[in-house]
Amino acid sequence: MTAVADQAEPATQPVLDSVREFLGGEKKLFIDGKWASAQSGRTFTTEDPATGAVLAHVAHGAAADVDQAVRAARRAFDEGPWPHMKPNQRERLLWRIGDMLNERAEEFGQLEALDNGKSVGIATAVDVAWAADVFRYYAGWATKIEGSTINVSMPFAPGGQFHAYTLREPVGVCGLIVPWNFPLLMAAWKLAPALAAGNTVILKPAEQTPLSALLLAEVFEEAGMPPGVVNIVPGFGDAGAALSGHDGVDKVAFTGSTEVGKKIVDAAKGNLKKVSLELGGKSPNIVFADADFETAVPGSLNAWLFNHGQACTAGTRMYVEDAIFDEFTGAVAEAASQVKIGPGMDPATQLGPLVSQEQFDKVTGYLREGMADGARALTGGNRWGETGYFVEPTVLVDVRPEFSVVRDEIFGPVVTAMPFDAERGVAAAANDSMYGLAAGIWTRDISKAHRTAKQIKAGSVWVNQYNGFDTAMPFGGYKQSGWGRELGASGLDLYTTTKSVNIAL
């Protein structure tokens, strides 16, 4: 087993005064344009996963607070200015949010690094910068949401003349429930298209990472968002359940585990609210023998290690053509052993801690189970350090398709590697999963790349790269990885509904 980089005293970035100030005092709920404690008076703490230290006390929203937020959003939708505002007014406001995110990128980046444990550099350059981009992208769409005119034949009214058209309207009050792995970014993916289309929203951030959503509420307030349009209610699963079951909510958009996704579907049945789901994954990353090692090794490493493996798209099943299996997996393991582990606030950190004790226990539990099943670690396999929720980057070989480490979403820095025979193909093995979120393909043969991309049952396929996202490209899952497509023009479809109007002239 190769040793991982030594644990050294980290040189962490100093916390900005503005971030310190934000963290002081109770962080409240943001409902109807006002800051309020939870009706129960309760608070919960959110901690820094690198140290376990308490960062802030947060108002603990529950069903009663969700109800109040839904009523505020309903009033803002039915009576407020937002849905009746001119599209270019909504455009300017959303564009301003994007600008303000960029202006305060350092602050948002630090808060995200502290609350989630991810590297401050990545939080700023990826999470915050992309969130700003998403607001600008959908700001542009606000003025481009169109219906169509339809040249109807009306066979049962042959003598008449008609004027028929469609209107694309906002769905109404939307409940947005997001996880802790990309707290600000997942909120932006939902908020921006929902607001561009003229909906009003209630956002429920994850209990582990409520802080960036509350700073975002300050940004909305400062930008002049009318009261009730954006409501933010931090809390636990029961708050999410109250939101997805509320009859005053017209649509719920969820990102998180497949298990909770199914609960959302059940809860939504009452009023048959619209549902979109971005769920888990166990994505295949396929490396053919003719792949360019220079790009395929670091690319395949990043595929499973990005965000400490806490990414729904993580390429955690590596299928490597047998001719290069030992050489390739050895190179990936060697690169993994060189990764710099540390707290997110150390700018040199490449791999931070997992988000919580719960996730740490889950990931290390899978490692124990995998080893007991007969897996062998080319590198890693253990906890890293004495404090914080750090796990060594781990490459597992000698695995079989039925092992839990191959089947389940581990959500940590763990990859399984399996050889494949080019004659028999790789698609069947790659598709042998209840998930279908993403896939990677590495080859210099362009025809093979296209053929394989077509065979893979996944919402996103990346060739000679991994996590090749763009705000304009639809993203979502096949099979149990979800319903609907976020981002791009498809993202707007989730937050609009079509009305057909037919006029007898």
Q: In sequence order, what DSSP letters do the residues of 312-376 get, joined into one string?
A: TT---EEEEEGGGHHHHHHHHHHHHHTPPB--TTSTT-SB---S-HHHHHHHHHHHHHHHHHT-E
Q: Is 174 a catalytic residue?
A: no
Report the greatest alpha carbon distance in the chain.
85
Binding-site string for ligand NAP from residue 407 to residue 436, where x marks contact by CB under 6 A and - marks none: --x-x-------------------------
Q: Is 312 a catalytic residue?
A: yes
The phi and psi torsions of 221 (rounded to 5 degrees) equal -60, -50
Residue 204 binds ligand NAP (CB under 6 A)? yes
Whether 64 and 238 have beta carbons less than 8 Å apart is answered as: no
Q: 171 or 438: whose CB is closer to ligand NAP?
A: 438
SS3 content of the chain, % helix, strand, coil (to 5): 40, 20, 40
Cα distance between residue 254 and residue 412, in whole Å:
21
Binding-site string for ligand NAP from residue 341 to residue 380, where x marks contact by CB under 6 A and - marks none: ------------------x--x------------------
Q: In this chain, which of 280, 352, 353, 459 binds ligand NAP, going by CB under 6 A? A: 280
Whether 162 and 26 have beta carbons less than 8 Å apart is answered as: no
Q: CA dihedral defined by 207, 35, 238, 405, rounded to 10 degrees?
A: -20
Q: How far is CA 149 from the centre of its chain?
A: 36
Q: In this chain, which of 44, 162, 236, 469 binds ligand NAP, going by CB under 6 A? A: 236
Which residue is at the shortest CB distance from ligand NAP?
240
The one segment of 36-44, 234-242, 334-342, 426-434 that binds ligand NAP by CB under 6 A: 234-242
Residue 309 binds ligand NAP (CB under 6 A)? no
Q: In this chain, which of 206, 318, 417, 439 binds ligand NAP, going by CB under 6 A? A: 206
Residue 95 binds ligand NAP (CB under 6 A)? no
Q: In this chain, which of 216, 264, 418, 439 binds ligand NAP, going by CB under 6 A? A: 264
Binding-site string for ligand NAP from residue 160 to residue 189, where x marks contact by CB under 6 A and - marks none: -----------------xxxxx--------
Q: Which listed residue (91, 312, 321, 409) is catalytic?
A: 312
Strand partners, 467: none
Cα distance between residue 243 and residue 263, in whole Å:
12
Q: 342 or 482: whose CB is closer to ligand NAP?
A: 482
Q: 266 or 445: whose CB is closer to ligand NAP?
A: 266
Q: How far is CA 24 from the centre of its chain?
A: 28
Q: Give the single-character DSSP code of 131.
A: H
Contact residues toward ligand NAP (CB under 6 A) are: 177-181, 204, 206-207, 236-237, 240-241, 244, 255-257, 260, 263-264, 279-280, 312, 359, 362, 409, 411
Kindly list the catalytic residues.
278, 312
